[in-house]
Amino acid sequence: MTFAPSSDRVSQLLQEAIAARSLMPGDRVGTEAELARDLGASRPAVREAVRMLVRANLLRAARGPGGGVFVARSPDHGLARTVSDAIADMLATGTTSMTELIEVRELLEVPLAGLAARYAATETIASLWRSVEEAERGYDNEGVQRETDIRFHRAIAEASGNRVAWALSAWSAEVLQPRLKDVIAPAIVEAVAREQHREIVAAIEARKPALAERAMRAHLRYLTDLLETVGAPVRGASSPALGREPAA
């Protein structure tokens, strides 16, 4: 007896089919009926698989004429979207804090800087220098400082050549950096941050991973110090342990 694939298996088959057909975001995958026929699956299994992939930010479904199932994002961008949404929700509900997020950011971005020093293409390094130079030219424009800062850190993550690591760190530019800038605005010395960016790029250009990691760590710890300067809550010995309720 032949059994129709489960929704989990259909989800896997759908992703394999998208990769095999080299479909890009916006491309049509098919209707539920077409997918059920092509995959040898039941309509309910296809419907549930599509829902799963919609929740994972990989597909979108549209009804009506011209509707059907479409690619929403590539797997790495879907993962990045899912992680960003989850962290934004945690920050909004107080489940995490900017201090914790900076700690995670250090765990991710320090080794990414080292990978960038190994693998960054020449044009990527040129782009990093442009970000630094644009920030220096617009030293008195807060919008320029924010935009170039986000672009700088995104470029380093992309330069690492590791798509999974990039996806897991993309939330930093979207969720953390704008909020962090708002909090530390009274204390940050942008010239110091720009010089730290310059040191990071110089280490990447020199192909010195250890130096790039050290420069990135110093930069991120400078931001943590600024949180303390403005009186934002920081983790310390009195902070409750992960998963443990604070004493009543």
Contacts of 94 (CB under 8 A, 6+ apart): none
Q: When comparing pLDDT for 26 and 239, which is higher?
A: 26
Identify the H or E element spanning 42: none
Burial of 65: CB neighbours in 10 Å, binned 0-12, 13-18, 19+: exposed
Is the residue at 148 inside a domain?
yes
| 114 within 8 A of 204, measured Cβ to Cβ | no
pLDDT value, residue 5 = 82
pLDDT tens string 56-93:
999 999 988 889 999 999 999 999 999 999 999 999 99
Torsion angle of the four alpha carbons 104, 107, 110, 116, in this order, in degrees rounded to the nearest 10:
-100
Residues 194 and 87 in one domain: yes
Residues 93 and 215 in one domain: yes
What's the first-to-final CA gap in the chain, in angstroms? Answer: 59
pLDDT tens string 108-162:
999 999 999 999 999 999 999 999 999 999 999 999 999 999 999 999 999 998 9
Residues 67 and 86 in one domain: no
Is the residue at 236 inside a domain?
no
Is the residue at 179 inside a domain?
yes
Is the residue at 1 inside a domain?
no
What is the DSSP code (8-state) at residue 240?
P
pLDDT tens string 23-33:
999 999 999 99
Residues 81 and 57 in one domain: no
Q: Other CB atoms closer than 10 Å to residue 2's CB: what's the count?
A: 4
What's the CATH code of the domain at 56?
1.10.10.10
Structure confidence at residue 231 as a pLDDT band (50, 70, 90): confident
What's the CATH code of the domain at 188?
1.20.120.530
Q: Other CB atoms closer than 10 Å to residue 71's CB: what's the count?
A: 19
